[in-house]
């Protein structure tokens, strides 16, 4: 009997799911329901491309997409055919493209009612997952990760609180699972929807591992995650061949890592180190995963983040350490030059003690160091500007005397 090739295995898997085996890059091959299509394919043309036809040959399908998904920063370009030893032949493999680490994407879609704001995700696979297999988006919502840092870290889950699982097929589904302190098996399902009610399958514009790749696109509401567009999270993504979760034994691929080496925990740790803390609202159209300096979270290229964009406090306005002695492990020692209990970054007078931070005239200079605290144009304590040298023409002595006499009568 002639052995099955990877391409023929993909065709078999697609036929088993009731899908066409001929690839048209960008074409939806497993449509979602009408209401879900309005979100995942807004113009309803059956393609996820901006041009309403197949992705142009050789084009970056991320740049040519109908929706402005943002690529998740990964630890590295997803290695081809990097499944661990012992993985099933039909196990799905996350793949990147020649255009870079474009394996996992996200977008926050603002709804008319803020309570319905949605998180859309897109994952690139080299084949359709087998029954019970799929992809998992893992979310660290308390921003604590790893044994000793996250109090609920357990073997197999070093610090994820939520998991979005996408399992295609007629009996497939899209679930939001609470996995805090769980290895996936004992997770609590927060919401569960039929796959077609929240997701679709699409031919991608790439062909890695000798196959025509697929996108799984899906969405969940932010309210189902227990958050809003101001919520802060870190992302990881994984593929699994069975078991309905990316945290159990059937995990086969962690995005951005080489799954042929290291333990599952090691691969998750590598992925999380590359994943910046992101406020979900940043992922709207025009946003990005780039770190936000001044949000108190060290992410991306930041070497410190002390909650402000000032300078002279050990952490610069670009969130880079200003001196090797002022920061340890990314946490900056605050600098208070005048010893008044207010750090230099926030102090209205860095060299004059002013613990009350009074600023009567509201000019941004504290009264303790503002030579014109009442904004009358005169130096405080003097009756004329410039320390006795008027900036306006001097008044005749007679007029000056009359003015002073009038002031006395008013008293």
| Residues of the chain under the 70 pLDDT cut | 1-21, 296-300, 323-336, 339-346, 355-356, 373-411
Question: What is the chain's alpha carbon radius of gyration, rounded to the nearest angstrom?
Answer: 30
The pLDDT value recorded for residue 389 is 42
List, for residues 340-380, the tens digit of each pLDDT value. 666 566 678 877 887 667 777 777 788 888 877 666 666 55
Euclidean distance between CA atoms 369 and 354, whole angstroms? 9
The pLDDT value recorded for residue 172 is 94
The pLDDT value recorded for residue 380 is 59
The pLDDT value recorded for residue 68 is 95
Neighbours of 179 (CB within 10 A): 26
The pLDDT value recorded for residue 391 is 43
Q: For the chain, what are the domain ranges?
A: 6-283, 295-335
CA end-to-end span of the chain: 114
The pLDDT value recorded for residue 271 is 92
Contact (CB, 8 A) for 65 and 285: no
The pLDDT value recorded for residue 281 is 87
Euclidean distance between CA atoms 201 and 31, whole angstroms? 7
pTM summary value: 0.71
Reading the block at residue 231, the tokens are: 């919520």
- Which of 206-240 are b and which e, b meaning 16 or more Cβ less than 10 Å from the residue's Cβ? bbbbebbbbbbbbbbbbebbebebebbbbbbbbbb
List, for residues 105-129, the tens digit of each pLDDT value. 999 998 877 778 999 999 999 999 9
The pLDDT value recorded for residue 289 is 84
| 201, β-bridge pairs | 30, 216
Contact (CB, 8 A) for 160 and 140: yes
């Amino acid at each position: 009997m002639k052995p099955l090739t990877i391409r023929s295995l993909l065709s078999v898997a697609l036929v088993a799911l009731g899908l066409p085996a001929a690839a048209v890059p960008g074409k939806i091959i497993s449509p979602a329901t009408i209401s879900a299509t309005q979100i995942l394919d807004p113009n309803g043309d059956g393609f996820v491309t901006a041009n309403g036809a197949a992705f142009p040959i050789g084009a970056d399908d991320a740049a040519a997409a109908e929706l402005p998904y943002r690529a998740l920063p990964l630890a590295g370009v997803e290695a081809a055919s990097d499944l661990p030893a012992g993985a099933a032949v039909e196990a799905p493999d996350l793949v990147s493209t020649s255009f870079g680490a474009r394996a996992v994407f996200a977008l926050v879609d603002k709804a008319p009612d803020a309570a319905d704001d949605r998180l859309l995700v897109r994952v690139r696979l080299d084949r359709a997952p087998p029954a019970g297999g799929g992809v998992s988006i893992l979310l660290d919502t308390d921003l604590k990760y790893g044994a000793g840092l996250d109090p609920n870290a357990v073997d197999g889950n070093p610090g994820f609180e939520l998991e979005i699982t996408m399992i295609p097929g007629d009996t497939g589904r899209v679930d939001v699972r609470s996995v805090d302190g769980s290895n996936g098996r004992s997770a609590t399902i927060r919401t569960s929807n039929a796959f077609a009610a929240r997701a679709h399958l699409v031919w991608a514009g790439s062909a890695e591992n000798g196959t025509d790749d697929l996108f799984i696109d899906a969405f969940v509401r932010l309210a189902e995650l227990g958050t809003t567009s101001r919520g802060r999270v870190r992302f990881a993504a994984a593929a699994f061949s069975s078991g309905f979760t990316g945290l159990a034994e059937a995990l086969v691929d962690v995005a951005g890592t080489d799954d042929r080496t290291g333990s599952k925990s090691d691969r998750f740790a590598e992925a999380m180190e590359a994943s910046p803390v992101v406020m979900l609202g940043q992922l709207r159209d025009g946003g990005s995963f780039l770190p936000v300096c001044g949000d108190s979270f060290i992410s991306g290229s930041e070497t410190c983040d002390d909650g402000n964009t000032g300078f002279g406090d050990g952490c610069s306005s670009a969130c880079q350490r200003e001196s090797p002695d002022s920061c340890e492990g990314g946490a900056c020692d605050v600098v208070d030059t005048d010893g008044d209990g207010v750090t230099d970054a926030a102090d209205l007078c860095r060299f004059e003690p002013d613990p009350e931070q009074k600023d009567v005239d509201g000019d941004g200079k504290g009264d303790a160091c503002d030579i014109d605290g009442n904004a009358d144009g005169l130096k405080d304590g003097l009756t004329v500007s410039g320390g006795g040298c008027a900036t306006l023409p001097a008044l005749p002595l007679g007029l000056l005397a009359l003015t002073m006499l009038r002031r006395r009568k008013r008293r």
